Structure 1
Amino acid sequence: MKKFLAISALACLGVSAFAADGATLYKKCAVCHGPNADKVYLNKVPALKSLKSADRLQYMKEYAEGKRNAYGQGAIMKINLKGLTEDDFKAIETYIESL
């Protein structure tokens, strides 16, 4: 009964046990963008850390929707971002900012 009450209390507070983990989500991104988001991919895609936070977030959304194809990377980015939510994008962005 105590476990049920504790879980119910957390649910009422809006605490999610399934909150997006930016570091884990970013691992797929790190292949091209580097572990510290400072890699210039294919000598043309700017390092993520060099972009403004709001721009990075907007670009992720646009790539996921198939509306962006900067540097010819639209198709691969759409595949890599498939299934991610707005909260996932924010978690990734927060992680990049922490680097």
Structure 2
Amino acid sequence: MKKSVMVLAVLVGLGSTAFAAEDGAALYKKCSVCHGMQGEKAALGKSKIIKDMSSAEIITALKGYKDGSYGGVSKGLMKGQVASLNDAQITAIAAHISK
């Protein structure tokens, strides 16, 4: 019984690390260079002001940039920026921006 409890405790500990919430603020830092610290800038003078977008709109845009189905003049640039992001990271960034 003790062994089962110990194994369960280890698995729960591993699971909580694997499912730890992504830090949207930390992930957003590379975005802030073009979009501003609060998402207040039109990136390269061409993009939407992202602080005015809803979380759902941001998620749609980032996933669309990632799969190539979204974007205008900055589509190619943004595809490279979001290529390494997973769904949890995209959601965390969207939550951070749309506060």
User: Which band: TM-score by shorter chain?
Assistant: 0.7 to 0.9
Offset at 1:50? 1.2
Moved more, 33-42 or 78-87: 33-42
Q: What amino acid maps onto 2:79 in structure 1?
A: K
The residue number in structure 1 matching 2:82 is 81
Higher Rg? 2
Would the aligned equivalents of 2:40 and 2:51 in 1 still touch at CA under 8 Å?
yes
Task: List gaps (5 residues or longer) in structure 1.
Answer: none
Q: Distance in 1 between matches of 2:38 and 2:24?
A: 13
The residue number in structure 1 matching 2:96 is 95
Offset at 1:45? 1.2
Tell me the matched-pair count: 95
Corresponding residue SS for 1:42: helix
Task: List gaps (5 residues or longer) in structure 2.
Answer: 1-5
Corresponding residue SS for 2:43: coil
TM-score, scaled to structure 1: 0.78
The residue number in structure 2 matching 1:8 is 11
> Which structure 2 residues correspond to residues 31-70 of structure 1 after superposition, within 5 A?
31-70=33-72
Offset at 1:52? 2.2
TM-score, scaled to structure 2: 0.78
Structural RMSD (CA): 2.4
